[in-house]
Amino acid sequence: MHILLTGGCGYIGTWLTEQLLARGFRVTVIDTLWFGNYLAEHQNLTVLQGDIRNVDLLPNSGVDVIIHLANIANDPCVELDPTLSWEVNALGTMQLAEYAVRHGVKQFIYSSSGSVYGVKEEEQVTEELKPEPISVYNKTKMVGERILLSYRDAMIVQCIRPATVCGYSPRMRLDLSVNMLTMQALAKGKITVFGGNQMRPNIHVKDIVGVFLHFLSAGDKIQGIYNAGFENMSILQIAQTVTKYVPAEIMVSESQDPRSYRLNADKLLATGFSPHFSVETAIKEIVDAFRAGKLIDEEKHYNLKWMKKTVLN
């Protein structure tokens, strides 16, 4: 089976590519490589450097499945150039869907975002609740979902709404809540918490990789939209968990960030998927990588800083 993986050199994509290759799949990755390429060479791997909007770069035939991770990720990066973000996240998704139909792709797995729900007071945020995105990023992901769901008659469409991802990856991100607070404790001995009561759902990077593999193997048995997040914690609770492993002072200040949401993943669990990792697993991985010298606090691990410096300068 031949899989086209967009964003396959990213934080999630690097782990997912390795797992797909380990399972014997042929994988073609398309990635801008803004943040580098940490993939080892493999006889079944082709890496194309490019933008997903340029579908002429993609294989002319033989792709069975598309797993679509590539996007301008997170609110601050999207706000750097909202027009670019709409073009990549929404228009790029539509172009990929059209490419899939033209080339007979059987299955399309889309990485959306749990943040499409916006601010919710409900204790159980399920897939039945109406998305009410409050940022441009959230809106682009919701539009991407709607575009793909309009192609359900032509192929299997699976939309996954991940929680905030955490844990160590060769292509590391330190601008995600668990990872960022852990690195603050390690590098500075202090954790700055803005607000603290905002709720964040979390999922380990290896578990979200597992979700993609689960949907891939399920084929047409699983279709539609699924939440993927297993630990709903406040920002302050995350910081307090970090201090179990790294002695650090927690400094709380006011926040203007209204984002607060929980995810219920019962629908996903009912398909037979089981998570194997946790927020504490992620914290321990980052601590171990830092102390072993595998991970340092540097600009390339922060999407916003790196994009300002190298992409949109």
pLDDT at residue number 197: 84
The pLDDT, as a whole number, for residue 91 is 97
The CATH number that domain 2-311 falls under is 3.40.50.720
pLDDT tens, position by position, 111-127: 999 999 988 888 889 99
The pLDDT tens digits for 38-97 are 999 999 999 999 999 999 999 999 999 999 999 999 888 999 999 999 999 999 999 999
What confidence category does residue 186 fall into, taking pLDDT thresholds of 50, 70 and 90? very high
**pLDDT band at 22; cut points 50, 70, 90:** very high
Per-residue pLDDT, 258: 64
Distance CA 167, CA 122 (A): 27
Cβ-Cβ contacts under 8 Å for 198 (sequence gap 6 or more): 234, 235, 255, 257, 258, 259, 260
CA neighbor of 209 nearest in space, from 111, 123, 305: 111
So what's the pLDDT on residue 39?
98
Average pLDDT over residues 221-234: 96
> Which residues, 6+ apart, have CB-to-CB distance to 201 below 8 Å?
114, 163, 164, 229, 230, 231, 232, 261, 262, 263
Tell me what pLDDT residue 259 has.
66
C-alpha distances in angstroms, 196 versus 199, 232, 236, 253, 283?
A: 8, 13, 4, 8, 18
pLDDT in tens, 143-152: 999 999 999 9
3 state SS of 284: helix
- Tell me the whole-structure pTM to 2 decimals: 0.96
Cα(223)–Cα(288) distance, integer angstroms: 38
Domain ranges across the chain: 2-311
Please give the average per-residue pLDDT across 188-214, as a whole number: 94
pLDDT at 312: 76
> What is the pLDDT, as a whole number, of residue 198?
85
The structure tokens 């998704």 sit at: 93
Residue 102 — very low, low, confident or very high, per pLDDT cuts 50/70/90?
very high
Percent with pLDDT over 70 in the chain: 98
pLDDT given at position 179: 98
Give SS3 for 253. strand
pLDDT of residue 71: 96
**pLDDT value, residue 253:** 87
pLDDT (0 to 100) of residue 33:
97
